[in-house]
Amino acid sequence: MQIYLTAGPEHLSKALRYTRRLAHAAYRIGPEGRLLRQNQPSQIRGGLMVVDDRDCGPIRDRDALCREVWRECVGRGYSGAAADFEQPVSGDRLAFLEALSQIFSRSGKRLYVPEAYGSQLPLAYIMICTALSGGIFQQRLEEAVRRFGSGRLALDLQRLRMDFPLPCPSGEGTPLTNEALRAMMAEKQPSVFYSADLCARYFTCIREGDSHFVLFDDAGTITRKIQAGQALGIPTGFLLYPETEDLLPQLFGRSAPRG
C-alpha cells in the first residue's frame, strides 16, 4: 500500500525525514470560493495537494476554481489532490468536485474525496475513515469494497483517541490529545486490551468517581488496519502529521530523527 504522509508547510522538513510521498496540506478554499495557498517552499515537487473547506464560502465559479487547482497541480508536479472537506455535502461543492474529477480523470491524475461524496462521483477515489468507535472494522472495509471497488478506495488512517463515559447512551466520546492520553495512562496504569472488532486498543478506569472507557490507536493497530486494507486490494492510505509523529518510526521502519 502506498502511504501518503499529510503535512503542512511548517512540518515538511520533519515529515520528509520519514518519506518522500507527501500530501501537502497547504491549500484551502477561501470565503470567496477561490483557492488560497500557504507559503509552500519553491523546491517542492510531486506528491498530492490537499484542499480543505474550513473557511469555504459559496463556490460560485467552479470552473475558475478548477483552473486554479489544475494550474497548481501542473506547476508542482502533483499527481492529484485530496479534498479534505468536513462541511456537509452541498450542491456547489459537489459540482466543483464533479468537474475537477472529470478534468483529473482525462489527465491521469487522481482526486480523493470523503466517503459522503463517493456515490455521486464515479471518477473520484474514496477516502474511508478507519477510526471506528462502534461496529466491526473488517466488515466496514468489506462493505466499502463491495460498494465502490477496492481500487477506488483509500484508507484515511485517522488516529483514534477517545474517552467515553460509562454508560454512554449518545455513543459520543471526548477526543484526547497525545499528552492527555499519556498522562491518563501514567496516572491510572491501566490494563490495556485489544479489540479485534474495532482494530484498536482500550482500557477502562475510574476518574473523579465515574467510569470511563478509553479507545485508542497505536503503531500496532494502525499497522493492522493497513494490512487489512492491503489484503482487500486497497492501494492507498493517508497518515496525518503531526498527529502520528510519535508513531512514524515504527510505521515507516526508521529510527526517530534527531533535532
Pairing of strands 110-114, 48-52: unpaired
36, 30 Cβ separation under 8 angstroms = yes
CA distance 239 to 248: 9
pTM: 0.93
Architecture of domain 2-160+217-251: Alpha-Beta Barrel (3.20)
Residues near 110 by Cβ (< 8 Å), separated by ≥ 6? 48, 79, 80, 81, 104, 125
pLDDT, tens only, 199-241: 999 999 988 788 999 999 999 999 999 999 999 999 999 999 9
CA distance 55 to 69: 17
The fold of the 163-213 domain, in CATH, is Chitinase A; domain 3 (3.10.50)
- Parse the chain into domains and list their residue ranges: 2-160+217-251, 163-213
pLDDT, tens only, 62-109: 999 999 999 999 999 999 999 999 888 999 999 999 999 999 999 999
